[in-house]
Amino acid sequence: MTRQVPSNSQFQLQLTGNSWIDQSKNGIIFWKAVTGVELRNRSDIGQANTSPQTTILAALRVPSNCRRDFHLLDFDPDGDEVRCRYANFSLSECTECTTPSVLSLSESCILSFSPTSSVNEGAYIVQMVMEDFPRQTISLTQNRGLTVNSSISKIPVQFVVRVDPVVPSCTEGLYLPRFLTPTPANKAQLYAPVNQTLSISVNAEANVSTTFELLFSGPHTT
C-alpha cells in the first residue's frame, strides 16, 4: 500500500475483507487491520518514529489439555516499550471483536492457553494490536507540537490458534516438540551483514511423534 500525505501528521492505514476462515469458534468472519503511523520528529532521537516490528506464523496449534504460553516476538528500532492488547471495537480496529474465550493476552505480549474441554476444540481468530510507548516523555514536532507519554504508533497482529484434540502427555520432547541446542533462544537477536548469508540451525525432538516439516515466518526473500 502506498499513500501520499500532505504533511507529517499522524494518520491511519486500514485494510478490510471477509472470509477469515470457515467456522471460527469465536465467530469472526470479517477481518479488519488498522495501522497507526506517526511521522513527526521525536525530540529524543531527532527523527520520525519507527513502528514496532513482529512476525508470527499464520496459524498456531495447541492440544486442548496442555497449558501453553506463546511469548510473541516484538522489537522496536527506537528502543521503545512494546505493549500488546486485543483490538478494540470502540477504536474501529475490528469489525467483529469477540476475543477467544480460551486465551488470555498480557500487556507484555504473552498469549496464554489453559487446558479446556474438548467442546472448545477448533480454530480461534486472534485480533491484537502492538503499540510502542516512549520510555520517557517526548515531544513530537514539525507542523504542530505534541507532548507524548502514551502510545506513539500501532500495528495489527492477526493469526489463528487451533485447539487440537488431547495428547497423552504434555511433556515437551514426547508428543510435543522440544527445541534443542543449537536452536537460538526465543527473542534472540542475530545480526546479518549486508550481502552475506545468515545460517540458523534448528534442532528439535519429539520421541513419540513424527516431525514432518519446520514452519517459520521470516523475510519474503527467504
CB 50 within 8 A of CB 140: no
> Could you count the other beta carbons within 10 Å of the beta carbon of residue 160?
18
Residue 121 or 145, more confident: 121
pLDDT digits (tens, 9 = 90+) for 148-162: 668 999 999 999 999
Domains of the chain, each with CATH number or no CATH = 11-166 (2.60.40.10), 171-222 (no CATH)
> Could you count the other beta carbons within 10 Å of the beta carbon of residue 208?
12
Q: What is the per-residue pLDDT for 139?
A: 86
Q: What is the per-residue pLDDT for 221?
A: 55
pLDDT digits (tens, 9 = 90+) for 180-213: 999 999 989 888 899 998 899 999 999 999 888 8
Q: What is the per-residue pLDDT for 149?
A: 65
pLDDT digits (tens, 9 = 90+) for 104-143: 999 999 999 999 999 999 999 999 999 999 999 888 886 5
Q: Dig out the grid coordinates for 201 from the structure.
A: 540451525
Where residue 24 falls (left for φ over 0; alpha for ψ -120 to 50; beta otherwise) is beta
Q: Which pTM was predicted?
A: 0.90
Query: Positive or negative CA dihedral for 106, 111, 114, 119?
Result: positive
Residue 1 or 58, more confident: 58
CB 93 within 8 A of CB 13: no
Q: Are strands 110-113 and 68-71 parallel, antiparallel or unpaired?
A: antiparallel
Q: What is the per-residue pLDDT for 222?
A: 46
